[in-house]
Amino acid sequence: MSKLKEKDKVIFPKETMIGALAEYISSENINFQPMNANFGILPSLETKIKDKKVRYETLAKRALGKMNLHNA
């Protein structure tokens, strides 16, 4: 437990699923609905990709690119 106290806090980018969920639940919304993780709450890509598999893969790669995995 003491190792956790020595670490800096972690802020996940909104392009990651946990970051998008954190932003969703902390934003004011009169129509708030609890939800599971889904790609619809992630920020849109710059270019439209029709193929769902390719779109989700691109979103996942973008999220990994935003994370600083070297400090994990």
**pLDDT bucket at 69, cuts 50 / 70 / 90:** low
CA distances from 42 to 5, 7, 28, 56, 72 (A): 30, 27, 17, 10, 23
Element (H, E) at 46: none
Q: Is 48 helix (H, G, I), strand (E, B) or coil?
A: coil
Which pTM value belongs to this model? 0.73
- Is residue 37 a contact partner of residue 21, using CB atoms and an 8 Å limit? yes
What's the CA gap between 8 and 60, in Å, rounded?
25
Q: What are the tens digits of pLDDT across the range 8-22?
A: 777 899 999 999 999
